[in-house]
Structure formats: C-alpha cells, structure tokens
Structure 1
Amino acid sequence: LFVETRLISEVVENKEFLNWLLLQKFDLAFTHIFDVCPIGLVHYAKIPSWIWLSSTDDGEQRSDEFRGKSEEFRWTYVDYRFLEKVMVNSNELYEAPRPTLSKIVNIGGVGIGFKDANPLPDEFQRIIDVCVGLVVFSFGSVTPSYKMPLAWKKAFLAAFKNYPEHHFVMKYEGTDLQDHLPSNVHVFKWLPQANLLAHPKTKALISHGGYNSLQEAIIAGVPLITIPLFGDQPKNAKLAEKHRIAVNLRKDNLTVDAVVKALEKLLSDRRLD
C-alpha cells in the first residue's frame, strides 16, 4: 500500500479502486513509513490491523523542535494505538544501541543468504579465473553510476589501473567508458552482486553505502569502500567504519589518490579481511 504523495489525489478519486479495496475485507495491511497517506486507505477499507515498514534504520537523532510541533499532527491524523508492528530494515547485532519498543521488529538481512548461492554466469567466471582478487563496484539500483561526475569516473579508472592483478567489475548503465577501460576493469549493466560477494576471490565491495548492500557485504564477510551520497547512506558508512569493516570516502574529495589509499588499506589490512 505504499503510495507516493503525488499520486494520492488520483487514488482517492478512483471510486472503482476504493470500492474494490473495501470489498476485499483484508485482515492485514502493510504500509511504508515514508508516507502516512496509505494509513487513510487502511481506515477507509476497515482493515483491522496494519504494520509499518521502514526500508532503512529508524535513525538515532531526534529534533526536539520538530517533535514538539508534530504532536498535534501525530495524534490528530495518525492513531498509533492500532499499529500492530513496525518492521525495520535494521539489525541490532551491528546497529548502535538505542531505546526500543516491543512493537519494533528488526528484519535486516531477512532474505539475504548465501547458503544457496548460484554459480556465476560465464562472463563473470572467466574474469574470476584469471585474477588474483575481485573487487565489486555498485551504487545500487537507485543511483545510476553513469551519472556520476566525470572527475569521479577518471579517478576510479586511474586507481583501478594501479592493481593489474585484481579485476574490477562495475555496475554501470552507460556506454561512455567502453573506450577508456583498463584491461582489468569490466562494466555490466547488471551484476549478480550476492553471488559475486559470496565468491572466495572477492576482496572488496565499493558501494554508495545503501543498507542492503551493507548487509550483503557483512553476511558475505567482504569489506567495503563506501562513498555515501544521500539519505541514510552517510550514517550507514559511519556505522561500517566504526566496526572496522569499511573505509569511508567523502564524495567531495574523490580523487585518484584517495581511492588508491582506500584500496591499499582494504587489500592489505588483515583486520578488514
């Protein structure tokens, strides 16, 4: 029932959909914590129970000013007394300690498993067969890598060239790098990331610091280089750095030297192995 705010007017004016929703007599609804509007649909359809879903950790900082101003909104428009559970994409094993409630259920890592990792496609297996170690580069599914600044692209490729015995596979949606790739760099529009991380030759993941990628790397035992961009990513990167499983790079200082130093630390520091 996750509905973006810009679509709410279309939803509430769709009488056919609203009638259908009411007739289904659902017992339980899942709504995303990002938007409270679907909660109105839950009440309209007389669904007795609902669960809030959060795709990121619930955070550690609270603004007293905002909390005070939001009291009227909170208790007037959203009645949390009927909230069954809050499922959070978080894992208390490596999150910062904090107060919590019995209704909050941490489900971070659920569905991420390498026990049944599939064999790699031939194009990836051929790369692994000829390299000493593999480094996976992916900024996830939300941020297209080809839109990164040209200076970043040059910095990454120049840094990767310094490690000829290691090969780098990049999730990259564009074609502008094809004529500039070092022999040890390979670009693909899609990566079997979980299966690549599960391979024993994989030495590192270069990531934007998204929570799912962070959890995949932790489960696979692969250290990271994080370049957080927005949202919860800076916090995730700091968390990984705190646990000594990552090197954090600032996006405003992404140079060849910075990437080389991060790779050197990652590939040589046994504490990150």
Structure 2
Amino acid sequence: MIKPEKPNPKVKEVFPESLRQAYDTAADDVSKTAVLTRLENRNFDIMLDGTVIFDFYVDSTEWMIKNEDFANWIKTEKFELIIHDNPAGQFAYGVAHEMKAKIIAYVNPATPIPGDFITFGLTEESSWLPDWYSGSRYWFLPYHFSSAYNSISWYFSHNWYLLPKIDALLKELYGKELPPTQELMKKVDLVFLNEHFSLGFAKALPPYAIPVGGMHVTKSNGTLPENIENFLKTKDRFVYISFGSIIKVSNLPPETQKILIDSVASFDDVNFLWKWEGAIPEGLPKNVFAMKWFPQQDVLAHPKCKGFVTQGGSISYQQAIFNGVPLIVVPVWGDQGYVAKTAEYHGIGIHLELADITKETLTKALSDLLNNERYARNVKEVSRRFLDRPMSPVDTAVWWTEYVLRHDTSHLKSPDISNRSVASAASPEGIVIGSMSFIFIPFSL
C-alpha cells in the first residue's frame, strides 16, 4: 500500500506502518512466486490455487485486529457508511454490524472473483462468461465447464473455509459472537463494480449492482517530462511496457529478461518506455528508456503511444481504452486472465501467456499490434463507447452513495435476498458527502 503524495485534507488515513510493511512483504513474496509458477505452468495462478488467496485474506485481517492502534480505532469510531474494497473485505461486514452502519462493496477487479456473484446475490453466468482463469486448468474440460466448476468450488470454499475464520477474528476483536458474516454479506446495501459493458461483457445485473469502471481515469494532454520527450523525439512512435507495481520484471529469470530485451531491440523504428521495477540493468538497447515509475496516464495519452504491454490490471486496462491504445496482455494472477480474454474478445489486444513468451512470439505480437490497423481501429471505437455515458463514473458513484445514505435499499434486491431495516445514524465523522459521512476500508490486492 502506498501513501498519497498529497493527502486530501478531508481524508483521515489510518494504516499503521507495521501493517503496511507486513502487507508489502507478503505481496512481494506472492508476486515472486506467481511470476515463477506462471512461467512453468501455463494458465496457473498461485493466488487461485487451493486456499492461498483466502489464507492471505485471513492473515491480513489478523494483522489488523492484533494491531492495538487499529483495533482501538475501529472499535471506537462511528460511521454511517462503510465502503470496503472487495475481495478481501469480508471483515468489514462485522464492523458495519457493530457500528449500525450501511455498507457498499467496491469490487475493484475487472470482474468479481469466482463465487462472489453468488455471495452477493448476483446472477451467476459462468456457463457463457469467462472468469479469472486464463483458460481451463483441466485438460479434459472445456473452458466454460471449468468456469462453472470454479464458481461453485469458490463459493463453498469462501463460505465454509474463509468466513468461519473471519467470524472467529471478529469474535476476538469484539469479545462476543456476531451474526455469521455469510448472513451479513447478504445485507450489502450496494455493490460498485469496477467495470463497464463497453469494454467487458454484457451481464444481467440487479439494480443494486452499479458499474462505475473508469473512476480513476483523467484526461491528459500527454505532456511528459523533458528528458522523456527528448528521447521520444528520435522516432515517430513508441510502445509503453509496464507490469504494474507488484509484478516486477526484475523477478523474472535472466533468460526471460533477455528475451524481452532482445525482442524490443529488434524494432529499429520504435521506441519503448519501460517501467522497470527493481534495479535497472545496464546496456539496455538504445530504443529503450527505462524508469522505476512513469506518469502512466500521461504516457498513454501521448500522441506517439501506439501500444501498451501490460499484465492486465483493470486500472491499466481502462486507462489504455480511455486513451485509445491497443494492448498486449500478459496475465500473471487475479483478474488479469479475464482482462486478457476481454481484450481479445473486443479485438483491441493480444493475449500472450508468460509461459509462451519467446523472442519469436513476443516479436510477432508487437509487430501485429503496431502494423495491423484493426487493433487501433477497434480500440478507438471501444473508447468512444466507454466515454459515452449519461453521467461520469465518479458522478454515478457519488449519486448512488448519497442514495444509499438517503434510503433503505432492500427494494433494489430480489425477494429471496435477506433484507434489513434502515440502519440507525452514526456520529458524523470521516469524509463528508453532503451532510453524511463514511469510511473506506481497503483490503484487497
């Protein structure tokens, strides 16, 4: 987790440094394992294997409740609304129950994790829609059979393995039994989805599930720092390479790093801006400008940016579409496999598995992305659809947040989903929207 460079004076951030360090260390360890296992096993995701991701959720929650500063704060503060980051936010439902607060789940990935649809009472469409996996993990099962199995398996693992552990941690925090988290989750007042039908798949969503994908995207004129602009002057086009903040290129084996470097070096007429986490190697090709951090939205908005090689995080995916930049998606974990399939479905990108990368496959993918006009044409059309909305994503989220504060939302749900009475008001602390207040609890990767 990263502290903001310019904190908002209306936001009080409570994240003890010991928790931050524990979280960062665990995420880095998982990142290294994820990259190496993905190289060896096509479509394999360490975070979706067994109970790995659930154990990470439990560990994260346990770190919080055992931190005296955080535990005292969460037990004494009162808010009217909690917005929690999902997945990994199951802990927030017990907190909301104790505060008598309303609760909104913000599903940060490009689509909910397998099984979450059922947990939130959303329509499960695994028979025809892809899930987080890049492909079937079972050679004898077609992908959609595998997807349906994954959803059922994850639902039971979530409810029978994870939630009892969360219940026990909440009992430890509050010193008493709370209603089962599984029941509390059915009382979610609203679900924000970090997606939009224009760049994903059409889904059957109930009124309390609101797509708000693109809230983070801002318009840029593409102006970059002088040293980067001077480098880009040497050629008419460039490709941006970034695998996000957690997946580090420096964690790749030396032979894989060499394949990546040799591939980009073969493009004499193309420059590359490369976000390189870790120590930047010496002797990079002359057409490569590497840094540990780039202003990504400005890079993607630059008129010379003609392609984006990415791990497929939903944030990066939406920024690329906003700016009309086609992609090569190399998924490593989580929802990135879903993003790769989505980019292929819309004809705006190429799905390339890490285990399949050779100099030949990467060079061909880059050449296709740069020279096949259909990718640029398609992504510009998808971008127009993505931007064409009655309200901006931020305005949509604000309106619905205020709606939740004004009303009981049981009328937005099917009769078979548990309803609850209007939550009683809590003391006005936190971030103010109108005259109301809420707390945002981020737990996910």
Same fold (TM over 0.5): yes
CA distance in 1, matches of 2:373, 2:76: 60
CA distance in 2, matches of 1:263, 1:224: 9
* Structure 1 residue 20: Cα displacement: 4.1
* Structure 1 residue 105: Cα displacement: 1.3
Deviations 1:124-180 (A, max 9, x none): 11112111101100001111121122222111211111211211111012335212x
Per mean C-alpha deviation after superposition, the further-off stretch among 48-57 and 168-177 is 168-177
Deviations 1:35-80 (A, max 9, x none): 2122222222x23201112111125445335546766769943323
Name the residue aligned to 2:79.
Answer: 26
Partner SS, residue 256 of structure 2: helix
Per mean C-alpha deviation after superposition, the further-off stretch among 252-261 and 18-27 is 18-27
Name the residue aligned to 2:197.
Answer: 92
Deviations 1:74-115 (A, max 9, x none): 99433234311111211122211222111111111112022x
Compared CA separation, residues 7 and 183, structure 1 to 2 (3 A): closer
Equivalent residue runs for 1:224-263 within 5 Å: 224-263=327-366
CA distance in 2, matches of 1:218, 1:55: 17
| Residue 95 (structure 2) pairs with residue 38 (structure 1) | no
1:117, 1:194 within 8 Å by CA — same for their partners in 2? no
Equivalent residue runs for 1:136-155 within 5 Å: 136-155=240-259
| Residue 281 (structure 2) pairs with residue 193 (structure 1) | no
Equivalent residue runs for 1:100-111 within 5 Å: 100-111=205-216
Aligned-residue Cα RMSD (Å) equals: 2.5
Deviations 1:173-199 (A, max 9, x none): 2335212x1111111010111101101
Match of 1:268 among 360, 371, 375: 371
Partner SS, residue 40 of structure 1: helix
CA distance in 2, matches of 1:238, 1:270: 20
Compared CA separation, residues 124 and 70, structure 1 to 2 (3 A): closer
Deviations 1:228-267 (A, max 9, x none): 1111111110110111111111211111111111111111
2:328, 2:352 within 8 Å by CA — same for their partners in 1? yes
CA distance in 2, matches of 1:271, 1:50: 43
CA distance in 2, matches of 1:8, 1:247: 37
CA distance in 2, matches of 1:170, 1:123: 14
CA distance in 2, matches of 1:223, 1:144: 22
Partner AA of 1:208 in structure 2: Q
Partner SS, residue 189 of structure 2: strand
CA distance in 2, matches of 1:239, 1:24: 41
Partner AA of 1:191 in structure 2: F
CA distance in 2, matches of 1:174, 1:13: 32
Compared CA separation, residues 184 and 14, structure 1 to 2 (3 A): closer
Per mean C-alpha deviation after superposition, the further-off stretch among 64-73 and 254-263 is 64-73
Name the residue aligned to 2:420.
Answer: none
CA distance in 1, matches of 2:289, 2:157: 51
CA distance in 1, matches of 2:216, 2:234: 31
What is the aligned length? 270
TM-score normalized by the length of structure 1: 0.88
Per mean C-alpha deviation after superposition, the further-off stretch among 205-214 and 66-75 is 66-75
Match of 1:130 among 214, 234, 240: 234
Kindly indicate which of the two structures has a greater share of residues assigned to strand. Answer: 1
CA distance in 2, matches of 1:228, 1:69: 24
2:350, 2:365 within 8 Å by CA — same for their partners in 1? yes
Partner AA of 2:347 in structure 1: R
Name the residue aligned to 1:52.
Answer: 105
1:29, 1:47 within 8 Å by CA — same for their partners in 2? no
CA distance in 2, matches of 1:118, 1:238: 28
Name the residue aligned to 2:314.
Answer: 211
* Structure 1 residue 31: Cα displacement: 1.6
1:205, 1:217 within 8 Å by CA — same for their partners in 2? yes
Compared CA separation, residues 129 and 31, structure 1 to 2 (3 A): same
CA distance in 1, matches of 2:268, 2:260: 14
Partner SS, residue 83 of structure 1: coil
1:225, 1:248 within 8 Å by CA — same for their partners in 2? yes
Name the residue aligned to 2:277.
Answer: 173
Compared CA separation, residues 117 and 65, structure 1 to 2 (3 A): same
TM-score normalized by the length of structure 2: 0.56
Partner AA of 1:40 in structure 2: G
1:205, 1:223 within 8 Å by CA — same for their partners in 2? yes
2:107, 2:191 within 8 Å by CA — same for their partners in 1? yes
